[in-house]
Amino acid sequence: MQMLSGPLSPEIWLRDVFSAKQVLTGGIIRRKTRDIERYVGREAFESEVRRRGFQAVENAGHIIVFCNQERIRCIV
């Protein structure tokens, strides 16, 4: 998918996403995969998740980022 140019640069979009209260308190954030691809690109997003030591999963068009370094355990 092609990134859109607009009022938000990829850097600003990433900064805004990763400055959310949930990120700062070790919670989770969820973003639509198409929005990630549209605003910043999947590769850049995954690089930022990795750089922060976080983990992410994808399901049904959403990416969920666990904003901590705890182990993820699939229950069911």
Query: Residue 25 is part of which domain span?
Result: 10-66
Domain annotation covers residue 32:
yes
Instruction: Give the mean model confidence (pLDDT) for residues 36-51.
Output: 97
Please state the pTM of the whole predicted model.
0.87
Over the chain, what HEC string results?
CCCCCCCCCHHHHHHHHCCCHHHHCCCEEEEEHHHHHHHCCHHHHHHHHHHCCCEEEEECCEEEEECCCCCCCCCC
Domain annotation covers residue 71:
no
Instruction: Give the mean model confidence (pLDDT) for residues 49-56.
Output: 97
Domain annotation covers residue 18:
yes
Domain count, the chain: 1
- Average pLDDT of the chain? 92
Domain annotation covers residue 1:
no
